Chains A and B, each alone.
Chain A
Amino acid sequence: GQNIDQPTEMTATEGAIVQINCTYQTSGFNGLFWYQQHAGEAPTFLSYNVLDGLEEKGRFSSFLSRSKGYSYLLLKELQMKDSASYLCAVRPNFNKFYFGSGTKLNVKP
């Protein structure tokens, strides 16, 4: 089976940095994705990693270590609008995506 773990909920302060971790055990690996989902809305794509290392995109960065089955999403200069759930997804093969249960991030003033 596929197993993807992330913390259920995190709280951080506006302007700070927060790191959301994701660990996975899957039958194969062809990419790891991060999505953002605001309450009651559709998930939207944030980042993609397939090779080890850090991918940076503005205030958001994502890191992957394939040997450790580990990724993290780093959010810098937090804003109130970053309050959302962050979903980690792994694609074991080119047919399917498997999602973690999501991490709800609360940004407080």
Chain B
Amino acid sequence: DADVTQTPRNRITKTGKRIMLECSQTKGHDRMYWYRQDPGLGLRLIYYSFDVKDINKGEISDGYSVSRQAQAKFSLSLESAIPNQTALYFCATSDRQGGREKLFFGSGTQLSVL
């Protein structure tokens, strides 16, 4: 079973619709992240959370919101989707191991906004 699970894997929606992408993890990590990936732009950080009461904006948070419902769950919402939010979205987790903290990614959600 996957340690970091994202649902759905694919989603097609229309402009103006509200969309929620969900992420759950069984790794027991405190830190969770949402990234989007666009061709030629690499991975860009949307939001991150270091525990249930901690939410932080990343590089490109406009148009997005998040909720950390529990240590294991971190959801990303698009309140009113627009076509330039079409992208591959990844959830990731990490655990502090001194300096060697690294990211573990989910399988991704391909979102298309028409």
Contact = CB atoms under 8 A, between A and B. Distances in A.
Contacts, number: 53
Interface string A89-108: 10100111111111000000
A50 to B, nearest CB: 5
Overall SS of chain B's interface? strand
A33 B102 CA distance: 8
Size bracket of the B interface: 20 to 34
18 contacts: A4-B42, A31-B99, A41-B107, A41-B108, A42-B90, A42-B106, A42-B107, A43-B43, A43-B103, A44-B105, A45-B103, A48-B102, A89-B43, A91-B101, A94-B96, A98-B45, A99-B42, A101-B40
Interface of B: 33, 35, 40-45, 48, 50, 56, 58, 90, 96, 99-108
